Structure 1
């Protein structure tokens, strides 16, 4: 019996390894983050680019945010693969040296591990970058992990730099953040004509980006929260549900994702697409059903 159990233990890791399966052929991942863009905004505004990507890719219309449904907790959760209870970023006032709840684990920069740091650690030669319209996005990821780190004051300059970066470097992983839709929501109100106009502007910027991406790229378009009236942060579907669009290499065409998806699943999905090992502290799970060859969870 002892000899049999020893044999089983020796065989188990190889068996588990044989069962591992990943998307094949994804060489780059690009995340397009749009602050405050609601599912209603995508559906009601003039968004031909996003609708074309949805028709040829996969979409989840009601991804659940973490609470509060505000920017810092949700952008952090998306790149950190966990919620505020784990990473400790509970509001927009959070700073690395000023916060009430420490992360359950911290890396050498004192923050919870992000997808930027995970990829840099496992693929040290990979080119990784972030270009962001909202300056505070830059405090959420490991500075040592990126080759390209830029902040711009307008959505147009943000898009221009990001496109130039993609064309020049063809990065392994890159993240662009736009903030003008959230500004429109706060100033004019979610669902207002000028809010929809801001979403339409985003659609045109996404179109420019899509013209520049290299082959074998997975693109994910996401928001951090929606909105209600001129605000957000509360626990309502309008504020706490967003859309997530998957496009490109290995994505199922015309697929509607039905399984529950949470903002913190984004980091796990990026790791899954690029064959990276997620940290034990992450709670997010990859949205496998968006990819060819993977079925929706049975339960």
Structure 2
């Protein structure tokens, strides 16, 4: 992986350097994105992903790299993990320790904040690096937005009652309307997690919830292809945790902490499995890398799994 911790040491040589860097410098990029569409499905376990029939996701992943061993952060609950995906940091840095976190209910203060008191997210990094970037956040679990500053997001849309289909339509319209601008879209649904809680992970209802959304993902992808917006888009797929048959998560078992993670698009290796270690905190760093953001906060701990790129094929063992 690319090591990002390029801290400039300022001791007796500060007179020569002039000042200390306050951000991590991204390495020279070999891939540049027009847009990123991040599909987030809550509570998808590796076993659930392997068992469910999802031909549309399979077709999408055939154009990219898939990991079935990506490690999420602890605790294996929803808000801490989605925050980690989109802020390049773990709870130790961003301070989101539970689903009940709000700016007004803080137990562990974050190590870094923007002017409004939010830990810096990928949406902030993109807006500051690329002022004309357009970003959108589509969700159907009300608390999900709590840890992200909406000031840096151009369109925020909440859909209640576990519905998500209208948000898929809104996301498509947003991409078409902003096709001339760099675009970042986060497209999320919680209905898969709720199926696990209500019926049990690996229950027929849980598997059906994955297969159901695959149909809508396929329709979404086909519409983008019809508009000529597929080939220059990077797609990512990730989740926040798995689950155990006893209708729960939050523990430290592999079934809860190891999840699917995938990426496709220009310059990404095709039909490959990611073999290097990967973590949810790498998601935002990878997005920043794709958009060629020059700097990310020093507080971010994520790294880029560089072997996902065609130009970085793994070296043969001696």
The TM-score normalised by the length of structure 1 is 0.90
Aligned to 2:221: 210
Structure 1 residue 188 displacement after superposition: 0.6
Structure 1 residue 25 displacement after superposition: 4.0
Whether contact under 8 Å (1:158, 1:178) holds in the other structure is: no
Structure 1 residue 191 displacement after superposition: 0.5
Partner secondary structure for residue 293 of structure 1: helix
Structure 1 residue 142 displacement after superposition: 1.6
Matched, 1:251 2:268: yes
2:177 to 148, 168, 182: 168
Aligned to 1:28: 35
1:282 to 300, 305, 308: 300
Matches within 5 A, 1:105-254: 105-153=112-160, 154-170=163-179, 172-213=183-224, 214=229, 215-229=231-245, 230-254=247-271
Structure 1 residue 238 displacement after superposition: 0.6
Aligned to 2:284: 267
Deviates more, 1:155-164 or 1:228-237: 155-164
- What are structure 1's unaligned runs of at least 5 residues? 1-5, 11-18
Structure 1 residue 297 displacement after superposition: 8.8
Taking a change above 3 Å as real, the CA distance of residues 94 and 122 of structure 1, as seen in their structure-2 partners, is same
Aligned to 1:292: 310
Which structure 1 residue ranges, 4+ long, deviate > 4 Å from structure 2? 296-299
The TM-score normalised by the length of structure 2 is 0.85
Higher helix share: 1
- Supply the distance in 1 between the matched residues of 2:315 and 2:119 (Cα, whole angstroms): 28
- Supply the distance in 2 between the matched residues of 1:226 and 1:72 (Cα, whole angstroms): 14
- Supply the distance in 2 between the matched residues of 1:143 and 1:217 (Cα, whole angstroms): 24
- Supply the distance in 2 between the matched residues of 1:166 and 1:288 (Cα, whole angstroms): 27
Matches within 5 A, 1:5-154: 20-153=27-160, 154=163
Structure 1 residue 120 displacement after superposition: 0.6
Structure 1 residue 211 displacement after superposition: 2.3
Whether contact under 8 Å (2:45, 2:258) holds in the other structure is: yes
Aligned to 1:16: none
Deviates more, 1:242-251 or 1:84-93: 242-251
The alignment yields a C-alpha RMSD, in angstroms, of 2.0
Deviates more, 1:208-217 or 1:152-161: 208-217
- 1:90-125 deviations in Å (ceiling 9; x for gaps): 111111111100100111120111000000111111
- Supply the distance in 2 between the matched residues of 1:72 and 1:267 (Cα, whole angstroms): 15
- 1:116-159 deviations in Å (ceiling 9; x for gaps): 00001111111111111112121222211111111111122222
- What are structure 2's unaligned runs of at least 5 residues? 1-12, 18-25
Structure 1 residue 295 displacement after superposition: 3.8
Give the number of aligned pairs. 284
Structure 1 residue 298 displacement after superposition: 9.7
Whether contact under 8 Å (1:55, 1:254) holds in the other structure is: yes
Taking a change above 3 Å as real, the CA distance of residues 29 and 297 of structure 1, as seen in their structure-2 partners, is farther
Deviates more, 1:225-234 or 1:132-141: 132-141
Whether contact under 8 Å (1:166, 1:212) holds in the other structure is: no
Partner secondary structure for residue 117 of structure 2: coil
Structure 1 residue 204 displacement after superposition: 1.3
